[in-house]
Every structure is written in C-alpha cells, then in structure tokens.
C-alpha cells in the first residue's frame, strides 16, 4: 500500500534506495509505527532521508501521499487560495481576548469539519468561518486564544494545530554550510589508489584467476587502497570578508579535521594573491607565492575562497594592491592565472549569493577559475569539478 509513496519520493528527487525501502517495510511489519501517522512520518524520514537537505522534498512528497488522513475533511485548494490575501491583522487587548470562547481540541476539529462542509465563499474579519483577521478560531492573521491556524505564518503562537505548513523549508541546498555538511562534501574528494607493497588479497582478481586456471587456486595480491588526494586551501581574510569569517572558519575546521587527505595545506591572502601568501590569518608570517608554486605538485586539489570583490586596479595594475606592503610588481590577475595554470584542478568558492556577482573583478576572476557559491549545492558542484579527471 506504500508503493506510491516510494515513487512519489523518487519524483521529488529524494534519493531513496531499495535497501532503505525494505528496511522501512521491515519496521512496519514489526509494528514500530503503532498505527500512528506522525510516528510513521518520523520513522520513514529517519530511514529514507540521508541528508537534511532533502527534508523539504520529503515533506512535500509525504503531504502529497497522505494529505487528508488527519481529519475527515480535506482543506481544499480553494480555501487555501482564499487565505492567501489576508486583511490587516487584528490585535485585541488581553481583556477582549479573555472574552472569546475557548474550545478543546476535539471540539475544534469537529467544528472545523463542519465549517469546511458549509463554507461557500471567502471570509475576512469574522468570528465563525475559515478566514483571515477577525476572531475566528480557523484561519490566520487574527486572534483567538485557542484555534487552528490554516496557512499564513504564526504570530501569537497560540494555534493548537498547524495545517498546511512545512517546517523544514530552510534545509535546502542553497543555504550556507555547517561543519558537518562541509565534512561530508569534502569526503567526496576521496580518490583511492593502490599504494605501497602488494600485501592485500585481491579477492575478485583471485576468483577470476582461479577460474581461468581450471579451478586450481591462484592468489592475486595487490597494494592497499589509500586516498591519494592532496588539498590546498587559499582563503581571503579581512576587509569585505569579515562578515563571512565564521563561515570560512567552519570550512577550515572541517577541512583540517578531515583524516582522509594524503596532505592538507592552507594559506591566506587579502582580496587577491600577489607575490606572497600568509600562513596566519593576521598575515604576519608569509611565504612567497613563487615558492608555493615550486614546492606544491600540480595534482593538489586547490580551493580558493573569497568574495572576489575589490577595486579593478588590484587585479590589473602593478602596485595596485590595497595593502602597501604587498609585493605587487606583477598584477594580481597574472598571479591568479599562474595558480590556475599550475594546479590541474582549481575552483573558487564565493560566500556571496550568485545574484550579487555583477562586479567587474568577480567577472574577471570567473574567467580564470570556475566559481561556485559557498553553499551546500555550490560546494557539491565544486567537488565534482575537482574530481573530474584531466
């Protein structure tokens, strides 16, 4: 009976596997939902949804499949349309509010079902029908000491039950990251290669060789598979990046805590990279950019982080760096091009929303590096770019 739910989840881009689905069926067969729809909602989400970024799609699919089970009457699309254009919110004094009738939850549900059967038109500012404003216990943007909010947004926090509301719309792939999400994304950089002595049994190759040898056992040994990825993180610090300091900190924390990289190095710069990079965020200890290019192999996966917004002269002019102490005999754009030419896989992560990228220096840097937003979706897209073979 739940097969349609499986395909609805698939249609809404929730990545559900057959293994997870069979686990849910096993849980149902053991009675773990206790015939309760709310329990089923949380159980299915815990088993089927791998990431918080899919919570909203899950809610949409769940509502599509199970809408109307909570009450005997469905809240029709027509009524929801009536509620989309509310009148001005009503505000009552505590004395006026105390005079309104309070119903218990069972009476509220029974009365709501009656109103839904009887209501034929839009109502605003009343005390009985499903509408907006007023003192009716059904609708939104009004006031009632105990009611059922339908649509709208919560103001008084007094609704007994919230209908037609998704609680996880903020868990979407266009939001900024937390440390856990960054760590999960960075794990996708893993590229396992066989390194070291051949002291690990290669079972598939052994079976294949034994079959070809007419059943006579033949062992095939191989080197251990290890992650061979090296990561270089270059981060803009100070100035217009100050509002994103916390976001950059958790990106650094996640990368530094990762144990699956063969090597991880990081440096700082301000606005653009010139003759020097810095080993500390205060930019007191420096190392020459030329030394970094000579020392670090071309196979380092390189991530640059910055808003890419500055005066165009900082990228295009000799001695155009905003900091007078910078070694800027070569324009910043040329240094960035040297980095892009040296490392085979580079991306630029921008903490600004893509709608704010209409700036000449952002456009110039985008011609040098593939640029992505510093968000869940942007980082995932950037990681895919980094793991593509040259």
Q: Tokens at residue 62, please?
A: 């769940």
How would you classify the pairing of strands 138-140 and 131-132? parallel
For the sheet containing 138-140, what is the strand order? 131-132, 138-140, 147-150, 159-163
Indicate if the pLDDT at residue 379 is higher than 60.
yes
pLDDT at 165 over 90: no
| pLDDT in the model for residue 78 | 58
Q: Which two tokens stand for residue 57?
A: 């799609």
Task: Report whether 150 contacts 71 (CB < 8 A).
Answer: no
Asked if 221 and 252 count as a contact pair (C-beta separation under 8 A), the reply is no
pLDDT tops 60 at residue 153: no
Best mean pLDDT range from 88-102, 154-168, 192-206: 192-206
Residues 6+ apart with CB under 8 A from 218: 206, 209, 210
- Main-chain dihedrals φ then ψ at residue 88, nearest 5 degrees: -60, 140
Residue predicted with more confidence, 153 or 67: 67
The DSSP annotation for 56-92 comes to HHHHHHHHHHHTTSSSSS---HHHHHHTTS--PPP--
φ, ψ at 131 (rounded to 5°):
-165, -165
Give per-residue pLDDT as tens, 200-227: 778 888 888 888 888 888 888 776 666 5
200: β partners: 222
pLDDT in tens, 330-350: 999 999 999 999 999 999 999
CA–CA separation, 136 vs 146, rounded Å?
A: 10
Query: What's the sign of the alpha-carbon dihedral 129, 132, 137, 142?
Result: negative
Give the residue from 332, 349, 352, 351 showing the smallest Cα distance to 385.
349
Q: What pLDDT shows up at residue 175?
A: 45
Whether residue 73 has pLDDT greater than 80: no
The CATH class of the 228-387 domain is alpha beta
Query: Strands 276-278 and 286-288: what pairing?
Result: antiparallel
Binned at pLDDT 50, 70 and 90, residue 112 comes out as: low
Determine what percent of the chain is predicted with pLDDT higher than 70. 63
| Rounded CA separation 6/28 (Å) | 14
What sign does the CA torsion over 352, 356, 360, 363 have?
Answer: positive
Q: Three-class SS of residue 355?
A: helix
The reported pLDDT for the residue numbered 387 is 82
- pLDDT of the residue at 113: 67
CA 271 to chain centre: 26
Q: What is the pLDDT of residue 177?
A: 52
Residue 385 structure tokens: 């770019």
Q: What is the pLDDT of residue 322?
A: 83
Mean pLDDT of the chain: 76
Distance between CA atoms of 33 and 22, rounded to whole angstroms? Answer: 15
- Averaged pLDDT, 310-314: 91
* pLDDT confidence tier of residue 2, bands split at 50, 70 and 90: confident
User: Is residue 272 pLDDT above 90, yes or no?
Assistant: yes
Domain ranges of the chain: 3-66, 77-163, 228-387
Q: Is the pLDDT of residue 157 over 60?
A: no
**Radius of gyration (C-alpha) of the chain in whole angstroms:** 29
Q: What average pLDDT does range 167-193 have in this prediction?
A: 55
Q: Over 80: is that where the pLDDT of 22 sits?
A: yes
- Full DSSP string of 82-120: HTTS--PPP---HHHHHTS----HHHHHHHHHHHHHH--
Q: How far is CA 355 from CA 173, 189, 350, in A?
A: 16, 28, 11
């Amino acid at each position: 009976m739940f097969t349609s739910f499986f395909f609805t989840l698939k249609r809404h881009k929730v990545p559900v596997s057959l293994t997870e689905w069979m686990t849910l069926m096993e849980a149902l067969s053991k009675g773990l939902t206790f015939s309760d729809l709310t329990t089923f909602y949380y159980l299915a989400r815990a088993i089927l949804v791998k990431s918080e970024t899919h919570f909203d799609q899950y809610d949409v699919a769940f509502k599509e499949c199970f809408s109307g089970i909570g009450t005997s009457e469905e809240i029709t699309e027509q009524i929801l349309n009536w509620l989309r254009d509310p009148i001005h919110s009503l505000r009552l004094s505590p004395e006026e509010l105390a005079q309104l009738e309070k119903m218990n939850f069972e009476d509220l549900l029974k009365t709501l079902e009656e109103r839904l059967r009887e209501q034929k038109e839009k109502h605003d500012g009343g005390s009985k029908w499903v509408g907006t404003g007023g003192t009716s216990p059904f609708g939104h943007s009004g006031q009632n000491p105990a009611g059922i909010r339908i649509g709208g947004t919560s103001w008084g926090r007094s609704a007994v039950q919230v209908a037609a509301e998704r609680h996880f719309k903020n868990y979407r792939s266009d939001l900024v990251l937390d440390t856990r999400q960054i760590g999960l994304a960075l794990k996708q950089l893993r590229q396992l290669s066989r390194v070291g002595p051949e002291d690990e049994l290669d079972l598939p190759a052994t079976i294949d060789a034994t079959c070809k040898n007419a059943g006579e056992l033949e062992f095939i040994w191989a080197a251990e598979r290890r992650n061979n990825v090296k990561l270089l993180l270059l981060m803009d610090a100070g100035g217009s990046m100050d509002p994103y300091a916390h976001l950059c900190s958790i990106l650094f924390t996640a990368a530094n805590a990762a144990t699956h990289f063969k090597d991880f190095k990081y440096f700082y710069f301000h606005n653009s990279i010139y003759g020097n990079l810095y080993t500390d965020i205060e930019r007191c200890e420096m190392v020459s950019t030329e030394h970094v290019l000579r020392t670090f192999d071309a196979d380092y996966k390189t991530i640059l982080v910055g808003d890419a917004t500055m005066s165009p002269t900082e990228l295009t002019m000799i001695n155009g760096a905003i900091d007078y102490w910078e070694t800027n005999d070569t324009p910043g754009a040329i240094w960035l091009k040297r980095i892009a030419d040296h490392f085979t896989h580079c991306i630029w992560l921008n903490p600004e929303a893509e709608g704010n990228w209409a700036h000449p220096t952002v456009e110039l840097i985008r011609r040098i590096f593939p640029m992505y937003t510093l968000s869940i979706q942007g980082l995932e897209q950037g990681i895919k770019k980094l793991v593509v073979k040259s």
